[in-house]
Amino acid sequence: MTKIGLIGLGTIGSGVVKILKENKTLITARTGTTIELKRVCDLDEKRAEMLGIRGIYSQNYKDLLNDPDISTIVEVIGGYEPARTIIIEAIRAKKNVVTANKAVIAKHGEEIFKAAEDNNVSIMFEAAVGGCIPIIKAIRESFAADKINRIYGILNGTTNYILTKMEEGLSYDQALKQAQELGFAEANPSFDVDGLDSAQKLKILSSLAFNAKIKDDILTWGITKINKSDIKYAKDLGYTIKLLAIAKEIDDEIELRVHPTMIPQTHELANIKNESNAIYLVGNNIDKAMLYGKGAGSMPTATVVVGDIIDIAKSSSITNYYSEEKKLKDINTITCRYYLRPNVLDKPGVFAMIADILGKNNISISGVSQKELGKDIVPITIITHNVRESDMMQAVDQINKLDVVKSKTVVIRIEDI
């Protein structure tokens, strides 16, 4: 019998309450152990009332930490604070911790893992990345004997939904509106569409896969500048645009980036549609593996939160958090192929000006197309050969300063996974 304290009765927390209640018999039969929800905490007492658990409600989380019967605290309130404080205090009170909080693990993971080791308790966070996709367990347990050297993740459901709908013909604004109506996107969608959510998750995945302490910020580009014509040109070229989170370990250097990426339509990740998430791993021995599923949602996420609780209840959780300082590759030194769409006035000589800038920055062009679409803006699209990031950023900066340029050039990296 394991007694747990649950902090947070929102989307995920209420899912945890439901699963523990409805699947009680199944869980006990399967695992040989019983999990009892001893006490819950939320700022809003009404939430406990609606779930029929007012009798075990506390407004103060310290009541849960001070309860000697409770051996595991489940934190599902999200955000940096007070989540971090609660987790650290719970660990110091010798409680195991299960959390679904990507923000706090991405930012304070090192501190939290250290505290867990010092206090000989477990910290589990499967739900922090990829919803119900068991990627943390795959990396830490199933593939523990392998060296993972590449991660390509579709880690954000909102942006993948928007890009899928744009492929189906909607504009960015229409697709975003639809995502908001369906509850996939927030009223202020910046955290998702600017790539910040994906970047947090990538930090967690890559620190586990590469056993690395990752402190620096990583290159993070969102999808707001992509329009229907980019999607169409990508398609014509045999590519699909995805917001990819990319991590590579090459010669002890780690390369991390989140950006819209053209990937071949035939790649397994190209077929991950709508709000689904997927993580594609490349390892020395496993070659390749992909895990796919619901990246968010109350019940999918709550399922793996309870999975973590069960692991702890069966003492089959991991308590080892080995990591070392690794050098983050200077993003200016990476090379890849690029797709460029400068927004230029239709004047003679415009392309020559752009080609001149590219040439002077050591950028060689592999393909160009120019099609009539709007009234006075003629989208020129350019595909380059392999180019150094710093050269490309300098060239784009120079292009954007041309008088004939109406708005910022759209830049999409091409990844032949």
Identify residue 185 by its one-letter amino acid code: A
Determine how many CB atoms are found less than 10 A away from the CB of residue 263. 24
Q: How far is the CB of 163 from its own copies (least distance, A)?
A: 16
Q: Which is nearer to its own copies, 32 or 55 (CB)?
A: 32
Q: Judged by CB, which is closer to its own copies: 160, or 220?
A: 160
51 CB burial (10 A radius; 0-12, 13-18, 19+): middle
Q: Which is nearer to its own copies, 315 or 364 (CB)?
A: 315
Q: Does 75 bind its own copies (CB under 8 A)?
A: no
Q: Is 274 exposed, middle or buried (CB count within 10 Å of its CB: 0-12, 13-18, 19+)? A: middle
- Say whether residue 295 binds its own copies (CB under 8 A): no
Residues in the interface with its own copies (CB under 8 A) total 57
Are 57 and 344 in contact, with CB atoms under 8 Å apart?
A: no
| Residues carrying an active site annotation | 201
Instruction: Please calculate the CA angle 324-205-72 and round it to the nearest 5 degrees.
Output: 90
Do 341 and 379 form a contact (C-beta atoms < 8 A)? yes
Q: What is the DSSP letter of 345?
A: B
Q: Which of 46, 62, 288, 360 binds its own copies (CB under 8 A)?
A: 288
Q: Which of 8, 15, 109, 222 binds its own copies (CB under 8 A)?
A: 15
Three-state SS at 80:
coil
Instruction: Tell which one of 21, 30, 54, 114 touches its own copies (CB under 8 A).
Output: 30
Q: Residue 304, interface with its own copies (CB under 8 A)?
A: yes
Residue with tokens 């919803």: 131
Q: How far apart are CA 219 and CA 246, in angstroms?
A: 10
User: Considering only 128-136, 180-188, 196-204, 389-397, which stretch makes contact with its own copies by CB under 8 A?
Assistant: 128-136
59, 320, 335, 400: which one contacts its own copies (CB under 8 A)?
320
Cα–Cα distance for residue pair 242/225, rounded to 1 Å: 13
- List contacts with its own copies (CB under 8 A): 15, 19, 23, 26-27, 29-32, 126, 132-134, 137-138, 140-147, 211, 268, 271-272, 283-294, 297, 299-300, 302-304, 306-307, 310-311, 314-320, 322
